[in-house]
Structure 1
Amino acid sequence: MYAHQTKLASDEVQELRREGGRYLRELREARGLSQRQLAGLIGAEFYTFVSQIETGRGRIPPDRYRTWAEALAVEPRSFVRNLMRYYDPVTYDILFEGTHQAGTAAKAG
């Protein structure tokens, strides 16, 4: 069923991935890292992997979230919460519905 919903909204999914990529690019640039430098920090063999993620043509594998958060010098929990907006908006809405700042919802819930 979930795969079916994804197919119905494939344009929306792609736009969310692009927005997520922009979020990641902003974090990288704020840290003053090139794509090549970030690739080295996360253990990616090719910097083009970072490029693909930043352009929305891929997503960070969940088992790599902590590595990316550390490389980008952000707190892992808030990093994953922000990624969830782009990678899994249905779950994000259920967990943090009606909030602009996810941290507020977590404290209230």
Structure 2
Amino acid sequence: MTAEPQSSAANDMAELRREAGLWLRSLRKDAGLSQRALAEAVGLYYYTTITQIEAGKLRIQPDRYEAFAQALGVTDTQTFIKQLMSYYDPVTHKALFGDSEPSE
């Protein structure tokens, strides 16, 4: 059995998750937090979950968006969530907000 190559859409989504991870890493560093401290602040047992999110392997679950925004010192939670949506769900983001590119 051979693995099928990833589709272009899957590759695009993987790239967007990587970009989200870089953005989140920069927010974490700007907030002066280690991965372990951020994990603790948002109620994650393993700091390696932060590592995987920042590498684009995992994404933040929607029920934790506000906790991440608070832990990262983001005062405008809606803007934080909108930015995450531009990476994690660009189709819905475009339908709701009209722009298809993540705004940094």
TM range, smaller chain: 0.7 to 0.9
Q: Report what 2:15 is aligned to.
A: 15
Gaps of 5+ in 2: 1-6
Q: 1:99 to 1:44 in 2, by over 3 A?
A: closer
Q: Report what 1:107 is aligned to.
A: none
Cα separation, 2, equivalents of 1:101 and 1:19: 9
Q: Report what 2:91 is aligned to.
A: 90
- Identity of paired residues, percent? 48
Q: Report what 1:37 is aligned to.
A: 37
For residue 96 of structure 1, report the CA deviation from its aligned partner: 1.7
Q: Report what 2:4 is aligned to.
A: none
Cα separation, 1, equivalents of 2:48 and 2:39: 8
Q: 1:72 to 1:57 in 2, by over 3 A?
A: same
* C-alpha distance after superposition, 1:30-67 (max 9, x if no partner): 00111011011011111100000000000001011011
Report the TM-score when normalising by structure 1: 0.81
Matched, 1:50 2:54: no
For residue 76 of structure 1, report the CA deviation from its aligned partner: 1.2
For residue 100 of structure 1, report the CA deviation from its aligned partner: 7.6
For residue 97 of structure 1, report the CA deviation from its aligned partner: 1.4
Q: Report what 2:66 is aligned to.
A: 66
CA RMSD of aligned residues (A): 2.1
* C-alpha distance after superposition, 1:53-108 (max 9, x if no partner): 00000000101101111100112111100001100000111122148897xxxxxx
Q: 1:66 to 1:11 in 2, by over 3 A?
A: same
Structure having the larger proportion of residues in helix: 1
Partner AA of 1:91 in structure 2: T
Q: 1:89 to 1:72 in 2, by over 3 A?
A: same
Gaps of 5+ in 1: 1-6, 103-109
